């Protein structure tokens, strides 16, 4: 017998035809804790709007929010290190929260960050700003990140939760 919880939270059960329905119910009940845990995990995952207009509106809104959080940091990096991002992009990415091209000065942030707490957004922004100076994740990069945002590890953990 196979039980799956789909993206919309619905539960699907595959059982051989000879299994009585009371047996199926009994087996599904025995998996109740697992099913609920799966559904809870899915609820946490933000669902982006599927329509193009809706998605574009969200991206614009996200951009405003991100730039607002970034503003004091951009100012600080400019003053302290003489670097500044040339372009900001917000787009949906599946494997990372942000990226930075030190060659073009473009910082890209994941649309999904919109649903995360501000301090997590701030962590990603500072992380990407550090890449303007140190393109890779070398010692220099982490020293700078640590200096600018001493509790970055806690925020990264929160972002993963
Ligand atoms: Zn990085």
User: What structural domains does the chain harbor?
Assistant: 2-44 (no CATH), 52-160 (3.30.2010.10)
Model pLDDT for residues 72-90, shown as the tens digit of each residue: 999 999 999 999 999 999 9
| Cα–Cα dist 38/142, whole Å | 35
Model pLDDT for residues 115-147, shown as the tens digit of each residue: 999 999 999 999 999 999 999 999 999 999 999
Q: How far is the CA of 97 from the centre of ligand 1 (A)?
A: 9
What's the whole-number mean pLDDT along residues 85-103? 93
Is residue 130 within 8 A of residue 142, CB to CB? The reply is no
Q: How far is the CA of 62 from the centre of ligand 1 (A)?
A: 20
The reported pTM is 0.75
Q: How far is the CA of 118 from the centre of ligand 1 (A)?
A: 18
pLDDT at 6: 84
Model pLDDT for residues 12-22, shown as the tens digit of each residue: 999 998 999 99
7 or 139, which is more confident: 139
Q: How far is the CA of 101 from the centre of ligand 1 (A)?
A: 10
HSE (side-chain half, CA atoms, 13 Å) at 88: 21
pLDDT at 47: 78
With cut-offs at 50, 70 and 90, classify the pLDDT of residue 160: confident
pLDDT at 44: 73
Q: How far is the CA of 100 from the centre of ligand 1 (A)?
A: 8
What's the whole-number mean pLDDT along residues 22-36? 92
pLDDT at 38: 86
> Three-state SS for 133?
coil
CA-based max dimension of the chain: 73
Q: Which two tokens stand for residue 68?
A: 């607002």
Cβ partners under 8 Å of residue 9, min gap 6 = 39, 42, 43
Q: How far is the CA of 38 from the centre of ligand 1 (A)?
A: 30
Cβ partners under 8 Å of residue 48, min gap 6 = 55, 58, 92, 111, 112
């Amino acid at each position: 017998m196979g039980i799956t919880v789909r993206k919309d939270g619905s539960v699907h059960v595959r059982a051989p035809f000879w299994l009585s329905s009371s047996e199926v119910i009994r087996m599904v009940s025995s998996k109740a804790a697992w099913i609920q845990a799966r559904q809870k995990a899915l609820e946490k995952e933000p669902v982006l709007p599927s329509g193009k207009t809706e998605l574009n509106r969200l991206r614009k809104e996200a951009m405003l929010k991100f730039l607002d959080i970034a503003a004091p940091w951009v100012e600080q990096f400019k003053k302290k290190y003489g670097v500044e991002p040339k372009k900001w992009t917000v787009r949906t990415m599946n494997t990372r929260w942000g990226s930075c091209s030190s060659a073009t000065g473009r910082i890209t942030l994941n649309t999904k960050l919109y649903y995360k707490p501000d301090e997590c957004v701030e962590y990603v922004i500072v992380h990407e700003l550090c890449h303007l100076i140190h393109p890779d994740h070398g010692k220099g990069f982490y020293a700078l990140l640590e200096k600018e945002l001493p509790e970055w590890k806690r925020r990264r953990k929160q972002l993963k939760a």
